[in-house]
Amino acid sequence: MANQDDFFKKVVAHAKEYGFIFPSSEIYDGLAAVYDYGQLGVELKNNIKQAWWKAMVQMHENIVGLDSAIFMHPRIWKASGHVDAFNDPLIDNKDSKKRYRADVLIEDHIAKIEEKVEKEVEKGRKRWGESFDEAQFRATNPRVLEHQKKIDEIHGRYADCMNRNDLEGLKQLILDLEIVCPISGTRNWTDVRQFNLMFATKMGSVIDDSDTLYLRPETAQGIFVNFLNVQKSGRMKIPFGIAQIGKAFRNEIVARQFIFRMREFEQMEMQFFVRPGTELEWFKRWKEERLQWHLGFGIPADCYRYHDHEKLAHYANAATDIEFRFPFGFKELEGIHSRTDFDLSRHSEFSGKKLQYFDPELNESYTPYVIETSIGVDRTVLAIFSHALKDETLEDGSVRTVLSLPAKLAPYKAAVLPLVKKDGLPEKAREVQHLLMPDMMVQYDEKDAIGRRYRRQDAIGTPFCITVDNDTLNDNAVTVRHRDTMQQERIAIDNLPAYLHERIKPIKNQ
């Protein structure tokens, strides 16, 4: 692909063209940062959710599931800190009337300087060829050092303002960096102010402040407030976890990058309750286990990296992100946080109910500490989909677009294709389709030449194409074509279900 931008455009276009992801309310010109999953997207998404559920709930005897309501008592969000502190710093341009996140304007400015550094490095690489020593170049080249000094200065001021919640300082930094509005081109900025990201709505018929509800901005709080219900009814012994998959809502101001940052999205979260003092050991274990889960999809390890947080939220004593190399660079895919006893203590305080655990081994009660693993379903779809999408040049010079999804995640596992639409082949193909349907998602396709049908299945990630030809009527066997290698083998129809099952293997580590 020409470059990252073009490739990302191709990802978005391919997702739409083949029925994976559509802009929401498209016939009404769409709704910003909200997307619908089409007929294939919903399958991919469900398969990802199943893979996570299996790895977290089915494969751990001490983790159980939950499906808590989206609507919750408003005091929950006061206790969790979301009412007071779930904010983004916003700034408006008075000429264009456009609103921006002040932190993003500054980060984008830093990114532009980083691009300049990369250009210098590229120039150096071209100039010195094989003997180019990148580390030495970065450490000594005067232009790189000058840019780096600027980046460090901006970072320093920016981090200081964010830590001290210094909104005036943020505005001053934007002015000093001479950042202009991309629409109006002017520096006519308002003051920076905090904007809460929760969507509010009303419950019942009486409209007053007391019945303001929030659409949950994370699924985690539903787990904390059910801690005792699950622990007691399931007779759970610490350490144990509660896992949940569900929608979350955030009024994101900078909503871009397709399904990477959405206003309505889905999370897969697990809260693991442990004995105080053991949390850092569990944090380490979950950090490793979650990375292994990602690697199970077969995507190369260098597409993932940890980003350990230096600045921790006030309730956390360790935190890391698993970042993925998205088409627009490395960005957060999953967060793993050691949240101490903050959430349970706060809910105890705000609800007046003691959320503690009696530990029979220690013969004492305590508020458990919590390790959280929190991953976005949509970001996982984007990571896996974008990594799988490729244009491949074949031996004859033609190009095919192929979506090399792990077979377990592919929307359709197999397509059944009669070679021609006559001679009893469609009827035989229907038989094969019905043989497989109870076990897996199968598509039937008889339109167009076989080559075009193969390409269509390649483009939607179907790992196996099963062709029924004239010989099938005599030998009761079919040709199975493999998506990635395009190799074909003859398989007896009687053996076909077992043959496919063996190849649609569970994902490693999952």
Binding stretches for ligand GAP (CB under 6 A): 218, 220, 250, 252, 261-262, 265, 267, 269, 332-335, 372, 374-376, 378-379
- Provide CB contacts within 8 A for 204, sequence distance 6+: 211
Nearest approach, Cβ of residue 20 and ligand GAP (Å):
16
- As a whole number of angstroms, the longest Cα–Cα distance in the chain is 81
358-to-122, 224, 267, 343 alpha-carbon distances in Å: 61, 17, 30, 18
Please, which residue, 82 or 157, has the CB nearer to ligand GAP? 82
**What Rg value do the Cα atoms of the chain yield, rounded?**
27
Return the sign of the alpha-carbon dihedral for residues 506, 507, 508, 509.
Answer: negative
Nearest approach, Cβ of residue 223 and ligand GAP (Å):
9
Return the sign of the alpha-carbon dihedral for residues 36, 372, 323, 101.
Answer: positive
Please, which residue, 290 or 413, has the CB nearer to ligand GAP? 290
Nearest approach, Cβ of residue 348 and ligand GAP (Å):
19
369 alpha-carbon distance from chain centroid: 26
Nearest approach, Cβ of residue 163 and ligand GAP (Å):
18
Nearest approach, Cβ of residue 187 and ligand GAP (Å):
29
Return the sign of the alpha-carbon dihedral for residues 490, 18, 258, 118.
Answer: positive
Task: Give yes or no for a contact between 156 and 130, defined as CB atoms under 8 angstroms apart.
Answer: no
Please, which residue, 124 or 335, has the CB nearer to ligand GAP? 335
Nearest approach, Cβ of residue 319 and ligand GAP (Å):
9
CA 253 – CA 230 distance, rounded (Å):
36
Which of 234, 220, 295 shows the shortest CA–CA distance to 70? 220
Beta strands per DSSP E along 75-124: 87-92, 99-101
* 3-class secondary structure, 164: helix
Please, which residue, 41 or 376, has the CB nearer to ligand GAP? 376
Please, which residue, 369 or 454, has the CB nearer to ligand GAP? 369
Nearest approach, Cβ of residue 466 and ligand GAP (Å):
36
Determine the residue with CB nearest ligand GAP: 376
CB atoms within 10 A of CB 142: 8
Please, which residue, 105 or 259, has the CB nearer to ligand GAP? 259
Which of 456, 367, 370, 471 shows the shortest CA–CA distance to 419? 471
User: Which amino acid, 355?
Assistant: L
The half-sphere exposure of 187 on its side-chain side, counting CA atoms within 13 A, is 9
CA 248 – CA 262 distance, rounded (Å):
10
Q: Which residues partner with 485 through β-bridges?
A: none
Please, which residue, 151 or 316, has the CB nearer to ligand GAP? 316
Nearest approach, Cβ of residue 95 and ligand GAP (Å):
28
Pairing of strands 87-92, 99-101: antiparallel
Nearest approach, Cβ of residue 251 and ligand GAP (Å):
9
CB atoms within 10 A of CB 46: 14
Please, which residue, 120 or 372, has the CB nearer to ligand GAP? 372
Nearest approach, Cβ of residue 2 and ligand GAP (Å):
27
Nearest approach, Cβ of residue 175 and ligand GAP (Å):
29
CA 46 – CA 32 distance, rounded (Å):
24
User: Which amino acid, 68?
Assistant: S
Query: Which structure tokens are listed for 82?
Result: 């979301």
Please, which residue, 93 or 320, has the CB nearer to ligand GAP? 320
37 alpha-carbon distance from chain centroid: 14
Please, which residue, 337 or 453, has the CB nearer to ligand GAP? 337
Please, which residue, 386 or 443, has the CB nearer to ligand GAP? 386
